[in-house]
A and B are shown apart, each in its own frame.
Chain A
Amino acid sequence: MSDAMTTLVDRTALPTSHRAYQLYWACVVIAMAAVTLIGLQYGWLRDVPEVLTIPVAEWINVAMAAIVDRTQPAFRALSWLLAQPMHGLQAVLALLPWLTVAMAFAGLAWVASGARLAVFAAAGLLLTVLLGYWTEMMNTLALVGVSVPLSIALGFGLGAAGFLWPRCRRGLDLLLDLMQTVPAFAYLIPILLLFGFGPVVGLIASAIYAAPPMVRNTMLGLSRVPEGQVESGKMAGCSPAQLFWLVRLPGAMPQVLVGVNQTTMQALSMVIIAAIIGGFDDIGWAVLTALRKAQFGQSLMAGLCIVFLAVMIDRITLGFAEKARVHRGRAPVPLLRRRWAGVALLVLLSLPVGLALPALNEAPANSVIAVAEPLNDWLEQFLITHGALLATLKTQFFYVVMFPLRAGLENAVTPFTWGIELTPTLIGAYWALAALVTLGLGARSFALGCAALFVFWLGYFGMTGVSWVALTLFMIALGGTLGGVRSALLCASTCLFFVLTGLWDLAMLSIYLCAMGVVISLGLGAIIGGLAAHSGRLSEIVRVVVDTLQTMPQFVLLIPFLMIFQVGEFTALLAIVIYAVVPAIRYTEHGLRKVDPGIIEAARQIGCTPWQILWQVRVPLALPALALGINQTIMFGLAMLAITALVGTQDLGQAVYVALSRADAGQGLLAGLGIAAIALTSDRLVRDWIVRLQTRRPVPDAAMGPKPGPR
């Protein structure tokens, strides 16, 4: 995170009030230094004193108990009601021969996209049958089959309401932000308390979790219907209802379908994670039990089935969305109709065939192909041969990079870890170096000097060791510089939230792990995205990999790292990086590519070398897009952070996870809100930064685009 901040401070020093900012930050630096020095003597300046914490979690639990007491019958009834269609779907899917279900999916894939996807779907489903996960897969499908329509209906309703009544837009935005940033584990707890145990909880949680993209895309689509179409509808004499259903909604349909695709994928991802509450023999549960038994081969195979399912559903829904965009729902109609008819015929024909032949009817309960066991053996062999090396790698990285960042050099440098003692001379040398670098950089740019000092300070004391008062001061100053009073207030209240709830240390651990993951992701993303922006072929390869990574449910990403590096923060870090690198790559490539070719041509004509074109032209012009990429990377990192609680972290995510196992709604909600607070604060700060960038450097198409025709 510190790298990002360096740039933040640098870019926002407004030339007009340069002096004032320098004075302001000089005061902040002096105050932070004073607090840190005095804090060496008085511990309460450094660690949050317990007297400040308020037992909010207990209050929530009391309130929750009261609510549950009064409303439980109603919620239980709702739970029963929702369970019916799910069990019905489950029963139907279990009754049908697997051949028929596979046929139906392959046919759907064919209509949606073509023969390639149909073959892919058929192969994936066949593999699922052979691996013995068919029943589990069908149970997952039954869950998804109920939660997706629920989520889509919820999302569409909220989106349409947000469009029709702009007054509720602000409240809706906040609701969406919370739905997306509070980890789903956290709101599983109250749902669990209200609805009782069972798969319905997962269903409801996934319906809530997956709704935001539908809401956003619905609102976006509806508001982007060209004014000319709306006016022509009005002049045709549409009543308000006709205008909405016959003009606005069809116009917004392509965007709405993009929402359907995203919502479906998120619901699937959540349904699989929700398996941790168990009770429904689904594919997520299969992965989890295998992981708990350390059967990595089995978990990997089940994970593979999930990836197949996810990619298949993604491409099918995307295929329909694409059709709506390109052909506006009207490919050569007779052809489409004939395809549908053909699929229906095949599915019907497969029914008697499947019922007649047991091999095509009942899917095997266990794997008929021996993959998992050999895989386990291979892994064992691999760990025996390379285990020592991997362990060394992991430990060294932990001692040299992770531990100092977490606990500070003052704690990390010991004869045991670094082989040296942290003597007063060394400490003196460290701070002398700090002063030298700060002054050196400060001579070039004041902000850069401040940032360097901040990094040295953070490095010495570590995320968990820095004074909470000093860090709060810094955050408020940063918020004020980037976004003014409101952002400063947001930073202050986030810090205050962690102080009062006693979650400060956990929050620091979350930020430490997430920030490290984000910085690594950004580095990787910059390199890969930058290279991909220059080479068409590499771009193709990267796109396939990135698309697949994004389609995978987050849960599955844990498996390979868990296999090789076992539980621990290192594994969590790798999982965060592999998930958060996706937006980093995407936005880097997109930002660098979309720079106006006319400007590049002009730069080449002036005589810029390729390197100069990159740094002097492309990067500055792509900055707003790159900043947006940083923002998304942070959001992805935080989302994955909550999931990595499964592999043993010690942060807020873990607190949520522990609370879930204890059904402790108060603790879970607070820790969940904590993660949301971190997400919303960093989102706000990065957005403030983007606004700064854009007001200084107007986006080309907004400033120079064609003027609307004369009126």
Chain B
Amino acid sequence: MQPVNAAASPIDEPDLAPVKLSCRALWKVFGTDPEQVLANTSDTGGRQSRIRAIREAGHIPAVSDVSFDVREGEIFVLMGLSGSGKSTVLRCLSRLVEATAGDVLFEGQNLVELDDKAMIYMRRHKMGMVFQSFGLLPHLTVLENVAFPLKIQGVPLRERLDRAREFVSLVGLEGRDAAMPDELSGGQQQRVGIARSLAVNPELWFLDEPFSALDPLIRGQMQDEFVRLQSQLGKTIVFVTHDFLEALKIADRIAIMKDGQVVQIGTPADLVLRPADDYVRSFTADVPLVRVLKVSDATVPGPVTPETGLAVAPETTLEDLFAMHDFNAGDVSVRHADGTVMGRVTSSSVMSILHRAMMRDHGSKDERPGG
């Protein structure tokens, strides 16, 4: 269970969690003199003309004017194709890459302005990161790898090994403590990477394409486990992926990136039902709707008539709903975990949401770039 299904549908608005991490007007420009070039251009003519001006100065804007908020306990996914700048954004957040301009606010503190020492403190105590290439240290055992961030902090040997052991078993690698990284499969190595990133109990959890290097079957398993883990831990997460289906499966909200810019930010259902442009639509076209749309998307206000006695949670997918309920028997009431009733789902409300989603798909079929 996620504590908060943040910023999802309009009905949810009132109980939004506080913003934990905020990225404001972030720029990353590559070239010989990026600061100067960026300072010489301005926003007055709009973002596109500024990007053009930077390019004309022989520089490459890898990240252009990216802003978003991540709420406490939220899984925020940065999704985009290769070269869209999503990994660079993530590295600017953790300052593995220094942004050319913009702010990164963490609990009101601007990370961009921190000196090296303060940033090291931040990384030691507040942040964890998982890498696409795993980034395990080849000369350390599984246990020592997981304990490594604790060692860096100066935690005594016995205590850090005990804590590391806890996280090794959390990711299901009990008994492999003494193995070396190159003795493990890719999936197991990434489990070690996950355990290591969690060992310091970070508030912010960054994942950079953690499952992209894995085989499809293992990838699916790892995604399921990631969702299970997060339901226990409730971290604030920024997750980078190039796989739209992966994004849909795990995200609370998704930011779709293209050419260094954010094209659209929204919940999975938002992206499917209201794609901002054809680029977003091209991703959503082949998505099985019943897996993306949730009960909350089809909920209409009012009491259930006639009463069937069945109640479902708003975050249930339509696919799961169909599996447990036959609409010939009547409507279903939608109830939050705390017992408050949100409304009801009827066969016609489901039909109408599916119809809406399919028609927006149908109407623009010919214009889909690359189909």
Interface residues of A, Cβ cutoff 8 Å to B: 226-229, 231-239, 242, 246-247, 250-251, 253, 327-330, 707, 709-711
Q: Are A232 and B86 in contact (CB under 8 A)?
A: no
Instruction: Tell me which of B36-44, B125-133, B328-336 binds A.
Output: B125-133
With A236-B148, A711-B83, A711-B86 given, name 14 new contacts (CB 8 A): A226-B133, A228-B132, A228-B133, A232-B193, A233-B137, A237-B149, A246-B152, A250-B137, A251-B138, A330-B139, A709-B213, A709-B242, A710-B81, A711-B85
B209 at the interface (CB under 8 A from A): yes
Which of B84, B86, B139, B212 has the most CB atoms of chain A within a 10 A radius of its CB? B139
CA distance A25 to B327 in the complex (A): 90
Question: In the assembled complex, which residues on chain A have CB atoms less than 8 Å from the CB atom of B148?
Answer: 236, 246
Is A237 a contact of B86 with CB atoms below 8 Å? no
| 26 residue pairs A–B, Cβ–Cβ below 8 Å | A226-B135, A228-B133, A229-B137, A229-B138, A235-B96, A235-B197, A237-B120, A237-B123, A237-B124, A237-B152, A238-B120, A246-B148, A246-B152, A250-B138, A250-B139, A250-B140, A253-B139, A328-B138, A328-B139, A328-B180, A329-B139, A710-B81, A710-B83, A711-B82, A711-B85, A711-B86
Residue of A nearest to B149 (CB): A236
Chain B nearest CB from A313 CB (Å) reads 25
Is the C-beta of B27 less than 8 angstroms from some C-beta in chain A? no
Q: Can you list, as one digit per residue, whether each of B181-216 has a CB less than 8 Å from chain A (1) or not (0)? A: 010000000000100110010000010010011000
In the complex with contacts A329-B139, A709-B212, A711-B86, A231-B180 CB distance below 8 A:
no
- Closest Cβ of chain A to B156, distance in Å, is 17
Q: Please list the 10 inter-chain residue pairs (A to B) with the smallest Cβ-Cβ separation, ordered nearest first.
A: A710-B82, A237-B124, A232-B135, A228-B133, A228-B135, A236-B149, A237-B123, A710-B242, A235-B129, A711-B87
Tell me whether B282 is interfacial, beta carbon within 8 Å.
no
Q: Answer whether residue B296 sits at the interface, using C-beta atoms and an 8 A cutoff.
A: no
Measured CA separation A231–B209 after assembly (Å):
14
Name A231's contact: one of B85, B135, B149 (CB within 8 Å). Answer: B135
In the bound assembly, the distance between CA atoms of A328 and B138 in angstroms comes to: 7
Known A-B contacts A251-B138, A710-B81, A711-B86; the reply to A232 vs B129 at CB < 8 A is yes
B152 and A328 contact, CB distance less than 8 A: no
Task: Tell me, rounded to whole Å, the shortest Cβ–Cβ distance linking B51 to chain A.
Answer: 19
CA distance A463 to B123 in the complex (A): 67
What 1/0 flags go to B6-23 for Cβ under 8 Å of A? 000000000000000000
Evaluate whether A228 and B134 lie within 8 angstroms (CB atoms) in the complex, with A235-B127, A237-B120, A253-B139 already known: yes
Closest-by-CB residue of A relative to B82 is A710
Question: Is there a chain A Cβ closer than 8 Å to B317's Cβ?
Answer: no
Chain B: CB-nearest residue to A709: B212
B298 CB–A CB distance under 8 Å: no
> What is the CB-to-nearest-CB distance from B77 to chain A, in angstroms, rounded to a whole number?
14
Complex alpha-carbon distance, A239 and B83, angstroms: 30
Which B residues lie within 8 Å of A233 (CB)? 137
Task: Indicate if the CB atoms of B209 and A709 lie closer than 8 Å.
Answer: yes
User: B242: nearest residue on chain A (CB-CB)?
Assistant: A710
B267 CB within 8 Å of chain A: no
Contact of A330 among B141, B149, B196 (CB under 8 A): B141
Q: Do A231 and B182 form a contact, CB below 8 Å, given A253-B139, A710-B82?
A: no
Is the CB of B261 closer than 8 A to any CB of chain A?
A: no
Expressed in whole angstroms, the Cα–Cα distance for A711 and B97 within the complex equals: 14
Contact B152 A229 (CB under 8 A): no
**Contact: B120 with A711, CB < 8 Å?**
no
Tell me, rounded to whole Å, the shortest Cβ–Cβ distance linking B260 to chain A: 11
Q: What's the Cα separation between A306 and B129 when bound, in Å?
A: 54
Distance of B86 from chain A, by nearest CB (Å):
7
A329: which B residues are within 8 A, CB to CB?
139
Q: Mark B327-365, 1 if CB is under 8 A from A, else 0.
A: 000000000000000000000000000000000000000
Question: Which partner residue on chain A sits nearest B209 by CB separation?
Answer: A709
Of all chain A residues, which has the CB nearest B95?
A234
- Considering residues A232, A235, A239, A710, which has the most beta carbons from chain B within 10 angstroms of its beta carbon? A235
Q: Are B82 and A229 in contact (CB under 8 A)?
A: no
Given A328-B180, A710-B242 in contact, is the A239-B120 Cβ separation under 8 Å? yes
Is B94 located at the chain interface by the 8 A CB criterion? yes
**Chain B: CB-nearest residue to A229:** B135
Q: Give complex CA distance A554, B200 in Å.
A: 56
Determine how close the nearest CB of chain B comes to the CB of A181; give it in whole angstroms.
Answer: 35
User: Considering the chains assembled together, what is the distance between the CA atoms of A233 and B134 in angstroms?
Assistant: 12
Contacts A231-B96, A237-B149, A246-B152 given: A251-B129 contact, CB under 8 Å? no
Q: Which residues of the partner chain B approach A709 to less than 8 Å between Cβ atoms? A: 82, 132, 209, 212-213, 242
Across the interface, do B133 and A236 meet the contact criterion of CB distance under 8 Å? no
Of A229, A253, A328, A710, most buried by chain B (CB within 10 Å of CB) is: A710
Distance in angstroms between the alpha carbons of A329 and B153 in the assembled complex: 25
How far is it, in angstroms, between the C-alpha of A235 and the C-alpha of B120 when the chains are bound?
A: 8
- Residues of B within 8 Å of A232, CB to CB, are 129, 131, 135-137, 193, 196
| Complex contact B96–A247 (CB within 8 A) | no
Closest chain B residue to A707, Cβ basis:
B82
Give the complex CA separation of A711 and B151 in angstroms.
31
B88 in the interface, Cβ–Cβ < 8 Å?
yes
| Least CB separation from B213: chain A residue | A709
Question: With a CB–CB cut-off of 8 A, which chain B residues contact A711?
Answer: 82-88, 209, 242
**Chain A residues within an 8 Å CB radius of B125:** 237
Nearest-Cβ distance from residue A249 to partner chain B, whole angstroms: 10
Query: Which chain B residue lies CB-closest to A333?
Result: B178
Q: Which residues of A contact B213 (CB under 8 A)?
A: 709
Q: Are A237 and B180 in contact (CB under 8 A)?
A: no
Determine the residue in chain A with the shortest Cβ distance to B81.
A710
Give Cα distance in the complex from A521 to B140, angstroms: 46
CB neighbours (8 Å) of B82 from chain A are 707, 709-711
Q: CA–CA, A173 to B196, complex, Å?
A: 39
The answer on a CB contact under 8 Å between A330 and B136 is no
Establish whether residues B96 and A236, one from each chain, have CB atoms under 8 Å apart when the complex forms.
no
Q: Are B152 and A238 closer than 8 Å at their CB atoms?
A: yes
Q: Are A229 and B136 within 8 A (Cβ)? A: yes
**What's the minimum C-beta distance from B283 to chain A, rounded to whole angstroms?**
14
Shortest Cβ distance from B134 into A: residue = A228
Say yes or no: B128 contacts A235, CB within 8 Å. yes
Across-interface contacts of A251 in B (CB, < 8 A) = 137-139
Contacts of A327 in B (CB 8 A): 180
State the CA gap A711–B82 with chains docked (Å).
4
Set of chain B residues within 8 Å of A235, measured between Cβ atoms: 94, 96, 123, 127-129, 197, 206
- Specify the chain B residue showing the minimal Cβ separation from A237: B124
Of all chain A residues, which has the CB nearest B145? A232
When chains A and B are docked, how far (Å) is the Cα of A237 from the Cα of B153?
8
Query: Chain B's nearest CB lies how many Å from the CB of A708?
Result: 8
Contact of A236 among B85, B88, B124, B212 (CB under 8 A): B124
B121: chain A residues within 8 A (beta carbon)? 237
Q: Which single residue of chain A is at the shortest CB-CB distance from B94?
A: A235
Q: Which of B122, B149, B213 has the most chain A CB within a 10 Å cutoff? A: B149
How far is A37 from B129 in the complex, measured between Cα atoms in Å? 75
Chain B residue contacts of A238, Cβ below 8 A: 120, 152
List chain A residues, Cβ under 8 A from B132.
228, 709
Residues A247 and B137 in contact, CB atoms below 8 Å apart:
yes
**Chain B minimum-CB-distance residue to A249:** B139
Closest to A327 in B: B180
Q: Mark B88-132, 1 if CB is under 8 A from A, else 0.
A: 100000101000000000000000000000001111110111011
Interface residues of B in 198-252 (CB under 8 A from A): 200, 206, 209, 212-213, 242
Distance to closest chain B CB from A711 (angstroms): 4
Q: Give Cα A232–Cα B137 distance, bound, in whole angstroms.
A: 9
CA distance A251 to B182 in the complex (A): 13
CB distance from A221 to the nearest CB of B (A): 13
Q: How far is the CB of B182 from chain A (nearest CB, A)?
A: 7
Cα distance A242–B120 in the bound complex, in angstroms: 11
**B88 contacts which chain A residues (CB < 8 A)?**
711
Task: Select A228's contact among B131, B153, B180, B196, beta carbons within 8 Å.
Answer: B131
With a CB–CB cut-off of 8 A, which chain B residues contact A229?
Answer: 135-138
Instruction: Name the residue of chain A whose CB is nearest to the CB of B87.
Output: A711
Query: Residue-by-residue, is B243-270 near A (CB-CB < 8 Å gives 1, otherwise 0)?
Result: 0000000000000000000000000000
